[in-house]
Amino acid sequence: MTKVVLKTSVSHGKGVFACEPITQGERILTFTGPVWNSAQADFSTYHLQIGEDLYLGPSADLDDYVNHSCQPNGGFDDGLHLVALRDILPGEEITWDYGTAIDEADFEGFPCQCGVLSCRGQVVSFRHLPGAVQERLRPWLLPYLKVKYFGG
């Protein structure tokens, strides 16, 4: 059923890789896990911001291990479904742009090592991205950010 597997990535430890061809627009996987507010969240473990004060904790499944890229081959479409932004070949690492989910005022960011030519150098909150980048990411934003910045 699933066309992706967990493997060790040269660039950032564990990652999720295609093991079969994936067609542009196809759903790759869906993010799941316990829903936390910031008081409940365990920020020392895997978590994904999904709302102003809402987080998705670890599912212990593949979705916990999808790495960031500034030029990803995956993006969120219609909620927490990661879809292929282009055709993906077996062996390619699946990535998404963390800027399409994170939007914390106090997120310090971390250095990006995605390695693409257009790498922004730093993974930061959506609010701290340049306007042109925000506009480019718009179609793949989590719903709460689409509503917050673009009215839905």
6 or 119: CB nearest Zn ion: 119
Contacts of Zn ion in 126-145 (CB under 5 A): none
Min CB(27)–Zn ion separation in Å = 24
Applying CB under 5 A, the span of 22-30, 44-52, 92-100, 110-118 interacting with Zn ion comes to: 110-118
Task: Return the residues of window 68-87 that contact Zn ion according to CB under 5 A.
Answer: 70
User: What DSSP string runs through the chain?
Assistant: ---EEEEEETTTEEEEEESS-B-TT-EEEE----EE-TTT--TTS--EEEETTEEE---SSGGGGPEE-SS-SEEEETTTEEEESS-B-TTPEEEE-GGGT---TT---EE-----TT--SEE--GGGS-HHHHHHHGGGS-HHHHHHHH--
Residue 149 tokens, joined: 């910045």
Question: What is the distance in angstroms between the CA of the first residue and the CA of the last residue of the chain?
Answer: 32
Exactly one of 5, 6, 54, 119 binds Zn ion (CB under 5 A); that residue is: 119
Nearer to Zn ion, 110 or 150 (CB): 110
Considering beta carbons, is residue 78 or 108 the nearer one to Zn ion?
A: 108
Instruction: Count interface residues toward Zn ion (CB under 5 A).
Output: 4
Report the residue number, 54 or 119, with the smaller CB distance to Zn ion.
119
> x/- contact string, 18-57, with Zn ion (CB under 5 A)?
----------------------------------------
Residues that bind Zn ion (CB under 5 A): 70, 112, 114, 119
